[in-house]
Structure 1
Amino acid sequence: MAETDFDLIVLGGGPGGYVAAIRAAQLGMKAAVVEREHLGGICLNWGCIPTKALLRTSEIYHYFQNAKTYGLKADNIGFDMAAVVKRSRQVAGQLSGGVKHLLKKNKVAVFDGHGKLNGSAGGKRKLHVEKDGKAVAELTAKHVILATGARARQLPGLEADGSTVWTYKEAMVPEGMPKSILVVGSGAIGIEFASFYRTMGAEVTVVELVERILPAEDPEISAFARKTFEKQGIKILTEAKVTGVERPKNGSGLAKATVDQKGKTQTLEVEKVISAVGIVGNTDGIGLEGTKVQVDRGHIVIDEWMRTGEPGVYAIGDVCGPPWLAHKASHEGVICVEKIAGKNDVHPLNVRRIPGCTYCHPQVASVGLSEEKAKAAGHKLKVGRFPFLGNGKAIALGEPEGLVKTVFDADTGELLGAHMIGAEVTELIQGYAVAMQLETTETDLMHSVFPHPTLSEMMHESVLDAYGRAVHF
């Protein structure tokens, strides 16, 4: 008979949940994970990983289409959408199996089913687990971490139907390539799908409610991105909203989307609509009723140690609100568990030091404050910039479009933020993230030796530029 009493139970096996459980096991706790769908969560199965597999396909397709640029010949270029999707799903499946192996290796018990808080007894939390309406187990633990993630937000009139209006799930497994797509929302999810489908040949229109795309990014990077995307043929409508979608009868034909932009209305006819207007935490049906767990605007309220208002109940990841990032969830899980274990070297998460990445073409990445927000916070600034066009490696790669921007406090030399657009910036950004974590100043970065020829040299040059010392531009 399976063990039912644990030191720690994690509800949800996503990047926050399974990492928290493994860290607990490493610290000598008896840990369990309750997961109702797939280990690895949305990120691994329907988000971060499979979308990157799709975007890698589109990147290679882009290079095929521009083979002449590299002195190559490639004729009759095409693709098999079923095979593209199959590869993406295989990648997700392989990694989900890897998570299962890691949990087994660390002796973490896994329960397949829907978990729900079920009161407490003897100083321990109770958790009811069921599958397909049938009870699977009654578990107990002194500590329970809620890591239930989030789901796509549904707007009135824009509800997903799996046929005409898609969420990210349907957009990842198309049966064929639509000729035209309307993407509602220009955050990371919306822009990644816009980039994928445009590269693969679809006519793409992006509608964004605020005045610029990628609104979480530095305005200068957003403007650069917009110019680049429009050059690629993506139509972008900002300060606009979709007020309604007339869906074709029987699910075939074109949808008619009504778009209001600054008081002017237009109708767009498209095959598919992708709704990427944010997410809402999975707080329903997990037994929060009658507890002191607070939910604010769809997300669980926590303190710096991930504690909720209910003793012995914690929450991590997307269910707690932005930034909705897998690496943020994983780090929260580790902090939460180490605090529970009584470790002395635990520090609260500094959200400003969490890097964000968008895997469109060109890629976008950032960490820390934008120039705009740094000014608003009262800092005197020194800002440096370096274009990809001045970098030998970027030119050799055939990727001369891009920008690296760094923001420093003029008085202390503190690196306040770094913002990038261009090839492989999602890999480069971690250099600045480490620098911020180590509280590196401009002097440290100036004296660091960057290898040549690399894209990372632009990071050095951007720092130098902030202080009037750039050499190669």
Structure 2
Amino acid sequence: MSNSYDVIVLGSGPGGYVAAIRCAQLGLKTAIVERENLGGICLNWGCIPTKALLRSAEILHYAQHAKDYGLKIAGEIEADLEAVVKRSRGVAKQLNQGVTHLMKKNKIAVHMGEGTLTGPTSLTVKGEKGEEKLTAKHVIVATGARARDLPFAKADGKRVWTYRHAMTPSEMPKKLLVIGSGAIGIEFASFYNDMGADVTVVEMLDRIVPVEDAEVSAFLEKSLTKQGMTIMTGAGVEDIKATDKAVTAKIKGKDGKVAETEFSHCIVAIGIMPNTENVGLDKLVEMDRGFIQIDDYGRTKSKGLWAIGDCTPGPWLAHKASHEGVTTAEAIAKELGNKDVHPHPLNRDAIPGCTYCHPQIASVGMTEAKAKEAGYEVKVGVFPFIGNGKAIALGEAEGFTKTVFDAKTGELLGAHMVGAEVTEMIQGYVVGKTLETTEAELMQTVFPHPTISESMHESVLGAYGRAIHI
């Protein structure tokens, strides 16, 4: 087989493998280079297996509260951590095999090994076939990112964990410290709390999930505290000492006092670092804190070299990477003479964010504070789930939907949700933003009854003083 291609994709995560498939669909001879597992971090060690873990914790939570639903379960409900992890790994394996099938189906050549660029459109791969030299008309870099370490607390996999260690624990933490309250930190805090661990979350900013709307942050903190977590905001971990048996952390509280506390384990979830070192990128692209700088279609400063996903500026989300993959593939096809493709740049204002804790969080667009900072006069509607019949019937009446509109034009600026199944519902607002909807269209939309999605309608009505059930 010739090692010359139209497109080579370096990395097979949700950005890379989607880009490769779209290139193949457009008739381009395509190859993908992967050093570890097809599907990348998201499929094998991130988005998917963590949701499998969280589903097990959710089932455990419902079983423990069966009495609330008029049910009796004989005997004690226990979590089998080994079995829970085994199920999660099985889900990841199944999807990894699915991506392998998709590569074959689309006739995409797979080169397993460590890829290093030798120029904008050439690279070497050191792997199972020795050293291979590959060339292409275009190369897409999709190398992703990894967890950021604390300088004084390197993850060892025993007592100090990254998300990867937390997914395959050798033992159940008794007392867990989670450093960072972004999506990764809060999801693992929620999982281990439901599984029975004593969980403390430390966040240096003044509220948890700080990228979310302030009302959502406040609601989530109250809910997690009610579930038994200790939440410390405006606090910082100044030092960690790990031994074979425990982790001792010095934590500076918002009052400035430093206290020393012992934990059985610690998860560090303070952000990510792009995988852009030792790939041969240094003279080929411009970088900012290690992230490859690109235009709206994924182009770098070197002709023929493109980049997508977590190795480029955020938000660092799998669905953003996949969307970029399609955009870049179509832009390449257009450059290669395909007149039937019309790539559109990514609209960053319409990228949803989802956090799968208990309760769930989902959002799109501007928070109320950001909208006001941007100079908008806003209309805001908030509808609590306690006014929603389906939420009450499900026993999930905690939560709310919040919408933010431009008071002058009716443009939907943002939507923010916390509660049961909101990660499935947010797409309704994303479609609305993509179609540039106003409050008028949303008000005229018929929402099915009984569904929690009716809270979305009521929130819109509430922004204009027309809510029915509150």
Amino acid at match of 2:276: T
Match of 1:195 in 2: 190
In the TM superposition, 1:269-348 aligns within 5 A as: 269-291=262-284, 293-342=285-334, 345-348=342-345
Tell me how far apart the structure 1 counterparts of residues 283 and 406 of structure 2 sit (CA, whole Å).
47
Q: Which residue number in structure 1 is paired with residue 125 of structure 2? A: 129
> What do residues 368-403 of structure 1 show as CA deviations (whole Å, max 9, x unaligned)?
000000000111100001001000000010001001
Distance 1:456 1:27 in 2: 37
Please tell me the residue identity of whatever aligns with 2:127: K
**Contact 1:212–1:223 (8 Å) recurs in 2:** yes
Partners of 2:309 and 2:321 within 8 A in 1: yes
Match of 2:161 in 1: 166
Map 1:58-457 to 2 at 5 A.
Answer: 58-74=57-73, 75-119=75-119, 125-131=121-127, 135-248=130-243, 251=244, 253-262=245-254, 263-291=256-284, 293-342=285-334, 345-457=342-454
Unaligned runs of 5+ in 2: 335-339
**CA distance in structure 2 between the partners assigned to 1:52 and 1:267 by the alignment:** 33
Kindly state the Cα deviation for residue 340 of structure 1 after the two structures are TM-superposed: 1.3
Q: Check the 8 A contact 2:52/2:87 in 1, yes or no.
A: yes
Once residues 351 and 332 of structure 1 are traced to their aligned partners in structure 2, the CA distance between those partners, rounded to angstroms, is 11
Q: TM-score, normalised by structure 1?
A: 0.97
Query: What RMSD over aligned residues (CA atoms) do the two structures have, in Å?
Result: 1.0
Structure 1 distance, partners of 2:282, 2:62, is 53
Q: Deviations over 1:179-229 (max 9, x none)?
A: 110000000000000000001100000000100000110011000000000
8 Å CA contact retained: 1:281, 1:321: no
Query: CA separation in 1, counterparts of 2:235 and 2:277?
Result: 31
Residue 14 of structure 1 aligns to a residue whose secondary structure is coil
Letter in 2 for 1:68: K
TM-score, scaled to structure 2:
0.97
Who is 1:57 aligned against? 56
Letter in 2 for 1:465: G
SS in structure 2 of the partner of residue 257 of structure 1: strand
Instruction: Work out the number of aligned pairs and report it.
Output: 463
Are 2:28 and 1:29 equivalent residues in the alignment? Answer: yes
Runs (4 or more) in structure 1 with deviation over 2 Å come to none
Distance in 2 (alpha carbons) for counterparts of 1:442 and 1:119: 51
Question: Which stretches in structure 1 are left out of the alignment for 5+ residues?
Answer: none
Residue 214 of structure 2 aligns with an amino acid whose one-letter code is: P
- 1:175 Cα deviation after fit: 1.8
Give the residue type in structure 1 aligned to 2:279: I
- SS of alignment partner, residue 240 of structure 2: strand
Give the aligned residue type for 1:468: G
Cα deviation code 1:163-185 (max 9, x no counterpart):
11000011001122111100000
Counterpart residue identity of residue 127, structure 1: L
Looking at structure 2, the residues matched to 397 and 268 of structure 1 have their Cα atoms a distance apart, in angstroms, of 39
1:417 shift after superposition: 0.3
Question: What SS is found at the alignment partner of 1:286?
Answer: coil
Distance 2:195 2:341 in 1: 51
1:17 aligns with 2:19: no
Q: CA deviation at 1:302?
A: 0.8
Q: Is the 8 A contact 1:128 1:135 kept in 2?
A: no
- 2:337 alignment partner in structure 1: none
Could you tell me how far apart the structure 2 residues matched to 1:422 and 1:260 are? Answer: 31
**1:306 alignment partner AA:** G
| Aligned mates of 1:397, 1:348 — CA distance in 2 | 40
* Counterpart contact for 2:238–2:251, Cα < 8 Å: yes
| CA offset digits 1:147-174 (Å, max 9, x no partner) | 0000001121121011110000110011
Percent pairwise identity? 63
Contact 2:153-2:241 at 8 Å conserved across structures: no
After TM superposition, give the deviation of residue 344 of structure 1 in Å: 5.1
> Which residue identity does 2:12 align to in structure 1?
G
Shift of 1:316: 0.2
